[in-house]
A and B are shown apart, each in its own frame.
Chain A
Amino acid sequence: MDERKAAYIEYAQAVPLAFAIDPDTCIGCGLCEAMCLAKAINYDDTERRTTLSVGALILSPGSQGFDPSGLELLGYGRFSNVVTSEEFERILSASGPYRGHLMRPLDREGPRRIAWIQCVGSRDVNLCGNGYCSSVCCMYAIKEAMIAKEHSHGELDCTVFNIDMRTFGKDYEKYYQRAKDKSGVRFVKSRIHTIDEVRETGDLSIEYVDEGGELKRETFNMVVLSVGLRIPDSLLDLARRLGVEVNKYKFAATHPFSPVSTSRPGIFVSGVFQGPKDIPTSVTEASAAACAAATVLAEARGRDAKSIEMPVEIDVAEEEPRIGVFVCNCGINIGGVVDVPAVAEYAATLPNVVFTDQNLFTCSQDTQDKIKEVIKEKNLNRVVVASCSPRTHEQMFQETLQACGLNKYLFEMANIRNHNSWVHGNDPETATNKAKDLVRMAVARANLLKPLKEKRIPINRRGLVIGGGIAGMNAALGLADQGFEAVIVEKEAQLGGLARELTTTIEGEDIQAYLYELIEKVNQHKMIQVLTESLIVGFTGFKGNFTTEILVGPRMYERKIQHGVVIVATGANEYKPKEYLYGQDPRVMTQIELGKRLEVKGASDLKRVVMIQCVGSRNEENPNCSRVCCQSAVKNALHIKELNPDAEVYILYRDIRTYGLLEDYFTEARRKGVAFFRYHVDNPPVVESAREGVIVTFKDHLLQRDLQVPADLLALSSGMVPEDTEELASILKLPRNEEGYFIEAHVKLRPVDLANEGIFLCGTAHSPKLISETISQALAAASRATTFLSQPEIVLSAVTANVDQDRCAACLICVRACPYDVPRVNEKGASEIDEALCHGCGICAAECPAKAIQLNWYEDEQVLSKVEALLEGVL
């Protein structure tokens, strides 16, 4: 939206965070090549062909946002105030064209009314041929509306025009409800076809038909088109070259029971190329693809890995500090503002500094070699680098120290770039003074640094899998196929879990046949042990070394299992409805029961079937969407129509959530004559028992009157409820949400990890999901677990809290303050902190009234030395 300079960084979070040259903008003046001190620019660079020999391939090429230019009636490209959702993201972004200020493009005015138009380039066979649902647009539209409201200086009216709101992900429905009820985002059920511009103002006028069939017109200052995801043609070409099949929408063709395997063995897929999906699911799937690839490569694991030999550490604890200070110019980033030679000279006057130097780029390989020589030559035992951010460079410099036999904690950085030259660029003198202050502070702390020992612990390479359903079995196979032992603990007498009740997937795949094969594989596997009728009663240890106590079998004999990781796959069940005469009238059943009934008795006796959606979901008791029930209803409806085309099927719904490629089945159901009626949550259908059938009364919004349908069978699309894991959660100390699903460590970044290290999560214990999604997540959990298990040992950070046992008064403040329940009062009556469990936040150290706790590397003395050095001479 903004003009891009010839030399640019793609976006603030790009990896690597380096400049690139845009060939379309570059005039080839050669100035940058001449100016670049690092000689990083090479104009003569050409495309090179490289051949890599690999054992497996993972395709994660992503997708593109749909380009709405072709949909002329929406006015994109013609009216400046019609933007795509991607452009609106940039408008909201602090690094975007308007620096995060909410403005519309035409006149840079702050809008008062914004409309979002959903399903642009999705769920649209007529205009763009994309029959699928893009899965992500409903959520991002809500998010954009919420953020826009936050960014707006005055009142902002946000309206989202949608066909169905599809907030089917974990906790997404709660977000939707919050947007509606708390933040006042308005949701209107209508598909918008045409946008007109009001010439004089640049506002946009939208005509639409509301749910009651009434024609309305509203004006907005700005319109956002919620564009869908699409696979670019270039990927089609890639797929063709790789011999990978794609489906009619150009997504990679996969099978529901092997969701990350493409048609070609050894080539795996993850992300949107596999099908439209959001970030958490993409991240999960990426791990799943890694698991599938690692299984193929299991034999070769580590074969080409090179290890670095580190010299024996020199003991410098008793020596007087001998500090070396290296001040970096960072090309002109620092040197162009700060008088670097003056800073280096100043550093030489500071206590115990025996060597100073300045470098063009302290991080370059030749400078590293130089630093190594100086450390040896001058017997340096502390190193200070005054350069950039420790976040990006600390580890690298620490490795340089280690290569010389110096403990890596004898290192300190002063950030004279990000905290100084970059942000005080227009005042070189004060910037130079500040650089001196920062160096003085760093040297003060360096003087007090102590060598710290990182604990190394061997890892037990066995995994414990809790739950023997589809998730648990796939996770166990994921471990075992890579050569790690797995123990499955199942509380029932048989493996299989909820899948034992299911018949076929919506694609028509036989679930029982799959389950039979899966159970066989697990039972036959040499590396898998299955414990059925088993109950976990005790759990101790830490990542890499857990011990679990289990009562096994009908006789309840006790077993103790040692293992390095845990995968939680405890699953969920179908909600047993209290609503709509379930359990009172035998003609009322759940979707799972209907699935079995169709399998056994067929549908020839059914003249009319009614289905009610959202039973036990999206209500007060369970505010979330259960994700799978819409597709269950469509699946069973299609099955009925297949068995008995004359049967009438009515589906009463609130929003149909056949996300992704499931949308095709919804389309097919309508084509086959399945009737869909929307009901409102405050006016649900009424069900009565009568001799001639189950009488269902509901309001038809188009006709604006009640309809009464006598049904031979009423199917309730009842939601999912997690397995009762209250006791297990308390034994393993695992966090669960209000509904009883386990809470992952981070929704997007660590979607299958639990906050407790070494414990992973998959399947419906995480949230409701389909079998294909469960399999992906199970492989992902196995992948995360094997990433950990494949290390020879774990190296624990030395930044942990230490208790001075003599000064501890056992007041229990640390026990209460620790967010991870680590401190324990030992038999000597003093608090003790297990360094293997400590996360190193330092909360206990700050809370301890006796100052008996110190956080390594951030001891009070070390922190205060910086405060004192900064304020030296002020008084």
Chain B
Amino acid sequence: MRIQYPENIKIIGVPCTGKVDVLHLLRAFEKGADGVYVVGCLEGDCRFNSGNLRARKRVEQAQHILESIGVGGERVQMYNLSSGEGPRFAEIAVEMTEKIRKMGPNPIKISKEKNGCMI
């Protein structure tokens, strides 16, 4: 479909969102990412039964930590998509980029450079 979406999204592949660790999410912010989101299968459609549900919990946990240390919990998000939803994928990329733009750069960061990261 080749639908255009913002280039500041970089994808890191994992076998299942269930593999995404809170530590992975936090490390990204520690290193200066402005936002991170996890894209898993639709709920109820996880190839490994429950990986995406666990990922959602971990994202919530990361949100909680980021909120309490003043980075902003909204900077990390969980989305669920099927592989047939290209347009929605691009929509999310735009949505997330706009959200993070509004929030401004990661306070941890000293320099002004912007980066997004998606798992």
List the interface of chain A (C-beta within 8 A of B).
12, 94-95, 99-100, 390, 415, 419-420, 422-427, 430-431, 433-434, 437-438, 441, 799, 817, 819, 839-843, 845-847, 855, 858, 860, 863-864, 866-868, 870-871, 873-875
Task: Check A874 against B109 for contact (C-beta < 8 Å).
Answer: yes
Contact of A875 among B1, B3, B86, B108 (CB under 8 A): B108
Instruction: Please report the C-alpha to C-alpha distance between residue A430 and residue B8 in the assembled complex, in whole angstroms.
Output: 9
Asked if B2 and A422 make an inter-chain contact with CB atoms under 8 angstroms apart, the answer reads yes
Known contacts A845-B21, A867-B117, then 4 further A-B pairs from the complex at CB < 8 Å, ordered by chain A residue: A846-B58, A863-B12, A864-B24, A867-B28
Cβ-defined contact, B15 with A867, below 8 A:
no
The chain B residue sitting closest to A415, CB to CB, is B11
Residue of B nearest to A93 (CB): B84
Smallest CB separation, A191 vs chain B (Å): 34
CB distance from A611 to the nearest CB of B (A): 39
Min C-beta distance of A330 to chain B, whole Å: 13
Contact A868 B31 (CB under 8 A): yes
B4 touches A842 (CB 8 A): no
Q: Which residue in A390, A415, A423, A426 is a CB contact (below 8 Å) of B90?
A: A423
The segment from B49-57, B63-71, B72-80, B96-104 found at the interface with A is: B49-57
Contact residue among B3, B13, B18, B33 (Cβ-Cβ distance under 8 Å from A846)? B18
Q: Once the chains bind, are B87 and A94 in contact (CB under 8 Å)?
A: yes
Most A C-beta atoms less than 10 A away, residue of B21, B27, B32, B113: B21
Chain B residues with Cβ below 8 Å from A855 are 15, 19
Give complex CA distance A441, B31 in Å.
14
Among residues of A, the one whose C-beta sits closest to the C-beta of B14 is A858
- Which residues of chain A have C-beta atoms less than 8 A from B14's C-beta? 842, 858, 863
Contacts of A424 in B (CB 8 A): 4-5, 7
By beta carbon, the residue of chain B nearest A100 is B87
Closest 6 CB pairs of A and B: A842-B19, A874-B32, A841-B48, A843-B18, A819-B49, A871-B31
Contact across chains for B11 and A867 when beta carbons are under 8 A apart: no
- B20, A430: Cβ atoms under 8 Å? no
Please indicate the chain B residues that have their CB under 8 angstroms from the CB of A875 in the complex: 31-32, 108-111
Cα A425 to Cα B110 with chains together (Å): 31
Chain A residues lying within 8 Å of B54, measured Cβ to Cβ, are: 817, 843, 846-847
Instruction: Enumerate chain A residues within 8 angstroms of B11, measured Cβ to Cβ.
Output: 415, 419
Closest to B10 in A: A870
By beta carbon, the residue of chain A nearest B36 is A867
Complex CA distance for A435 and B111, rounded to whole angstroms: 22
Given that A423-B90, A846-B20 are contacting pairs, would A840 and B7 also be in contact in the complex, using a CB cutoff of 8 Å?
A: no
Q: Does B92 contact A (CB under 8 A)?
A: no
A-B contact pairs, 30 of them (CB 8 A): A94-B85, A94-B86, A95-B1, A390-B13, A420-B7, A423-B4, A423-B5, A424-B4, A424-B5, A426-B4, A441-B10, A819-B50, A841-B47, A842-B14, A842-B19, A843-B50, A843-B54, A846-B21, A858-B15, A860-B21, A867-B24, A867-B117, A871-B28, A871-B115, A874-B32, A874-B33, A875-B31, A875-B32, A875-B110, A875-B111
Quick one: given A100-B87, A867-B24, are A843 and B19 in contact (CB under 8 Å)?
A: yes
**Alpha-carbon distance between A228 and B27 when the two chains are bound, in angstroms:** 56
Are A842 and B18 in contact, CB atoms less than 8 angstroms apart? yes
The reply to whether A870 and B108 form a contact with Cβ atoms under 8 Å apart is no
**Residues of B within 8 A of A (CB-CB), count:** 43
* Complex contact A874–B111 (CB within 8 A): yes
Q: Convert B21-40 into 0s and 1s, putting 1 for each residue whose CB lies closer than 8 angstroms to a CB of A.
A: 10110011001110000000
Select A423's contact among B2, B50, B108, B109, beta carbons within 8 Å.
B2
- Out of B51, B87, B111, name the residue touching A843 (CB < 8 Å): B51
**Which A residues lie within 8 Å of B109 (CB)?**
874-875
B116's closest neighbor in chain A, by CB?
A870
Nearest CB of B to A774, in Å: 29
How far, in angstroms, from A863 to B58 measured CA to CA in the complex?
Answer: 17
Tell me, rounded to whole Å, the shortest Cβ–Cβ distance linking A452 to chain B.
Answer: 14
Do the beta carbons of A871 and B33 come within 8 Å of each other?
yes
A99 to B2, CA, bound (A): 13
The reply to whether A866 and B58 form a contact with Cβ atoms under 8 Å apart is no
| Chain A residues whose C-beta falls within 8 Å of the C-beta of B51 in the assembled complex | 819, 841-843
**Interchain CA distance A216-B11 in the complex, whole Å:** 57
Query: B31 touching A874 by the CB < 8 A rule?
Result: yes
Task: Contact check, B32 vs A841: say whether CB atoms are below 8 A apart.
Answer: no
B32–A858 contact, CB under 8 A? no
Contacts of A871 in B (CB 8 A): 28, 31-33, 115, 117
A426 proximity list for chain B (CB < 8 A): 4
Interface hub of A430, A799, A858, A875 (most chain B Cβ within 10 A): A875
Tell whether, in the assembled complex, residue B1 and residue A867 are in contact, meaning their CB atoms are under 8 Å apart. no
Known A419-B11, A430-B7, A855-B15: A860·B48 in contact at CB below 8 Å:
no
Q: Which residue of A lies closest to B13 (CB)?
A: A390
B82 to chain A, nearest CB (A): 10
Taking CB atoms, residues of chain A closer than 8 Å to B113 are: 873-874
Q: A858-B14, A863-B24 are in contact. Are A99 and B87 (CB under 8 A)?
A: yes
Q: Are A860 and B24 in contact (CB-based, < 8 A)?
A: yes
* Nearest CB of chain B from residue A512's CB, rounded to whole Å: 44
B16 touches A842 (CB 8 A): yes
Q: Please indicate the chain B residues that have their CB under 8 angstroms from the CB of A870 in the complex.
A: 10, 12, 33, 115, 117
